[in-house]
Amino acid sequence: MAGTVGIVGVGNMGGGMAGRLLEQGWRVQACDLVEARVQALVRQGARAAASPREAAEGAQALIVCVVDAAQSREVLFGPAGAAAALASGRAVLLCPTVSPQDVESLASGLEAQGLAAIDSPMSGGPVRAREGSMSLMVACADAVYEANRPLLETLSGQVFRIGTRLGDGARTKLVNNLLAGINLAGAAEAIGLAGRLGLDLARTLDVIEQSSGQSWIGSDRMRRAIAGDYAPRAHVTLLQKDTGLALQAARAAGFEASLGPAAHEAFNRAAAAGDAGLDDAALLRLFLP
């Protein structure tokens, strides 16, 4: 049942998703501001699209995989926006981590043009996106979900059906990313302490990975930070943004967070120190001598 899918934003995650779809026999129309990313997919069989509108032409669904709500709005409703090129009834997968209110606003704009929104933030990193093993947190109408099930299940073997209320995918992702940020900040602080105590960092992480302090994001990020590898897979600015959005949602719900603000401040400090464009493993640099 493979068909044609447009993807706008083929960076680390979007590029992995596009590669997965191509491998599984889908036709992909790829658009990105960075031409080299598009050409890498063209070599795998994708068609280059010069604009979001071109990426959407003839597609049975459009995947939006940009950074934030402002970029999503431009992709969909800007001068070269994709929404105008999609046939009535087609679906748009909203994959960026944005606020629930932004999901609702984007969905309302799509509905006004006869289109359906799938609130579908993702988690797991580029390797898992390419393998089809990342998590997708999906909220949309039941009929929309069923119509797009083949695409969703091609993208991920871990599709979590959150419900029908648009914005609940975003809410779930913010809860997840707040914990990811707390875990990463905690791991960086602990490994920083190990350094101050004169311990071997790699050996200490070996112990943590087999003990009660283990977390996936801590192991993943600290292992490459110890090796001095800060090539960006997920920039510092992403969890800086996401923890901020999670705290905003917490305030709106009347929830008083205590650890979240400390983690968010660690990402703010890393960005202010000039590490905004580095991988978020660079958080360790805050705690080393």
pLDDT over 80 at 207, yes or no: yes
pLDDT mean over 51-56: 98
Identify the bridge partners of residue 42 per DSSP, sorted by sequence position.
Answer: none
Q: What percent of the chain has pLDDT over 90?
A: 97
Write down the mean pLDDT value for the chain.
Answer: 96
pLDDT over 80 at 1, yes or no: no
| pTM recorded for the entire structure | 0.92
pLDDT over 90 at 289, yes or no: no
| Residues recorded for the chain | 289
What residue spans define the domains of the chain? Answer: 4-166, 171-286
Question: Does the 171-286 domain belong in CATH 3.30.559.30?
Answer: no
CB 273, CB 286: distance < 8 Å: yes
pLDDT over 70 at 19, yes or no: yes
CB 124, CB 136: distance < 8 Å: no
Superfamily (CATH) of domain 4-166: NAD(P)-binding Rossmann-like Domain (3.40.50.720)
pLDDT over 90 at 79, yes or no: yes
How much is the pLDDT for 130? 95
How much is the pLDDT for 56? 98
Count Cβ neighbours within 10 Å for each residue of 184-223 and write b for 16 or more, e otherwise.
bbbbbbbbbebbeeeeebeebbeebeeeebebebbbbbbb
Q: What percent of the chain has pLDDT over 70?
A: 100
Residue with tokens 């010069």: 50
Point out the residues that are catalytic. 173
> Left, alpha or beta for 57 (phi > 0: left; psi -120 to 50: alpha)?
beta
